[in-house]
Amino acid sequence: MTSESLVFSAQEMTDRLARIRSAMAAGGLDAIVSSDAANAYYTTGFRGEPRTLLITADSLTLFTSFRTLPWAEAQTELLADHIELSTAPRPFDDIVKRLSGKTWNIGVDRSVSYASMLSWQELFSPHALRPCSIIEQVRRTKSPTEVAIMRQSQVINEAIFNAVLPQIRPGMTERGVQGLILAEMAANEDVDAYSFMPIVAVGPNAWEIHHLPDHTVIQENDMVLIDHGVFYRGYASDMTRTICLGTASEQMHDIYNTVGAAQDASIQAIRAGVSTRDIDRTARDVISTAGHGRSFTHGLGHSIGLETHDPGLNFNQGDEPTLLEPGMAFTVEPGIYLENGFGVRTEDVVIVTENGHTNLTSQTHALIERPV
């Protein structure tokens, strides 16, 4: 992989803007106002704050501070001919002044609070505001450069896992293992930050799927679930592996192998045109057939990209299904959790391609039994 493959081109940045504007027109929007960090970075390349975007059919304005203007100029250089940088001290007042001549239909971030929406509706009157997720929808399909960055993010994340693995021993606590992971992340200068606080769950603690590590002590022959990710050049990685500190029991092997079979079957089913619900059902059927359907207590996966849980895709039976498209990136992470026993989850990051899929995760799927 060359360093050039990890750098966005001016053409890619202008293509993103064109796709956003096309989606705006199709959705009946005259403008988008966004202060979301991921949306601002995706649209302009700017990763600082403060930030507010105004996107119209023929203009793009990034409002920031005079303190961050030099960084904004450098980070948005690829769009130099297409973007205005403003240091207006009250961005929303400035935006209102620009919206003249007609009543505008304006999309705002879905994450905006109810109180803020009420205040903005008054400020922007008589213009019409409504929550929208147009930029997030455009972000769902990744370019080859984005995929290359995500692949490298995953490589770094796996290297951290493999560096920590030999250091884990019985007698350590969950928080002690979490500390090892965080230390490895901090020592790697390519890591922007962790993409979420690492999860370490020993034995029955895995029943809580997003367990906060505590002072539970690892005993010999315990199953330990480890889930962590990093941000690299703004893009998240995410991986879960379950290991045994000692010798796994027959039941542990059986549960682990069932989860592996469910993951393998669902990944093999991934291709453009298949629905998220069908992919989830494929994994769920394998686990249910093995008699553990009630112990698979979450959806199969989620979108990933500029956020660990990127908006867009949710793989479960309760949500509206989405048909997969080339470039979509998401996790595949089936699990079985035995109350008062132990839990197993195996998680990879997968990209939909024109001809099927590619798995960005290279870490072994075999059960790791660490001798103690």
Q: Which residue, 96, 112, 139, sits at the end of a domain?
A: 139
Same domain, 253 and 125: no
The pLDDT tens digits of the residues spanning 332-354 come to: 999 999 999 999 999 999 999 99
| Whole-number Cα distances in Å, 207 to 125, 243, 297 | 49, 16, 9
Q: What is the pLDDT of residue 5?
A: 60
Helix (H, G, I), strand (E, B) or coil at 176: helix
Assess contact for 370 and 165: CB atoms under 8 A.
yes
Same domain, 108 and 178: no
Bridge partners for 201 per DSSP: 225
Assess contact for 254 and 295: CB atoms under 8 A.
no
Same domain, 224 and 168: yes
Same domain, 354 and 278: yes
The pLDDT tens digits of the residues spanning 114-161 come to: 898 999 999 999 999 999 999 999 999 999 999 999 999 999 999 999
Q: Could you tell me the CATH number of the domain that includes residue 291?
A: 3.90.230.10
**195: number of CA atoms within 13 Å, CB side?**
26
Specify the residue for token string 């390519």.
190
Handedness of CA 254, 258, 259, 260 (dihedral sign): positive
**pLDDT exceeds 60 at position 4:** no
Q: What is the pLDDT of residue 112?
A: 87
Q: What is the pLDDT of residue 7?
A: 84
- Domains: count for the chain: 2
Q: What is the extent of the structural domain holding 199?
A: 144-369
Same domain, 131 and 155: no
Token pair recorded at residue 58: 């023929």
Same domain, 30 and 97: yes
Same domain, 213 and 77: no
Same domain, 128 and 173: no
Distance from first CA to last CA of the chain, Å, rounded? 38
Q: Which residue, 117, 139, 161, sits at the end of a domain?
A: 139
Q: What is the pLDDT of residue 45?
A: 97
How far apart are the C-alpha atoms of 13 and 44, rounded to whole Å?
7
Same domain, 102 and 148: no
Chain center to CA of 38: 11
- By residue count, the chain amounts to 372
How far apart are the C-alpha atoms of 71 and 64, rounded to whole Å?
10
The pLDDT tens digits of the residues spanning 69-128 come to: 999 999 999 999 999 999 999 999 999 999 988 899 999 998 888 898 999 999 999 999
Could you tell me which residues come within 8 angstroms of residue 266 by beta carbon, excluding any fewer than 6 positions away?
279, 280, 282, 283, 286, 300, 332, 334
Bridge partners for 130 per DSSP: 107
| Whole-number Cα distances in Å, 311 to 48, 140, 226 | 21, 8, 24
Q: Could you tell me the CATH number of the domain that includes residue 21?
A: 3.40.350.10
Q: Which residue, 139, 173, 197, sits at the end of a domain?
A: 139
Assess contact for 336 and 255: CB atoms under 8 A.
yes
Same domain, 121 and 198: no
Token pair recorded at residue 340: 């008062």
How far apart are the C-alpha atoms of 119 and 47, rounded to whole Å?
27
How far apart are the C-alpha atoms of 14 and 23, rounded to whole Å?
14
**pTM of the entire structure?**
0.94
Q: How many CB atoms lie within 10 A of CB 265?
A: 16
Same domain, 77 and 157: no
Angle at CA 100, nearest 5°, toward 97 and 106? 85
**148: number of CA atoms within 13 Å, CB side?**
11
Among left, alpha and beta (phi > 0; psi -120 to 50; other), residue 180 is alpha
Assess contact for 240 and 227: CB atoms under 8 A.
yes
Same domain, 125 and 217: no
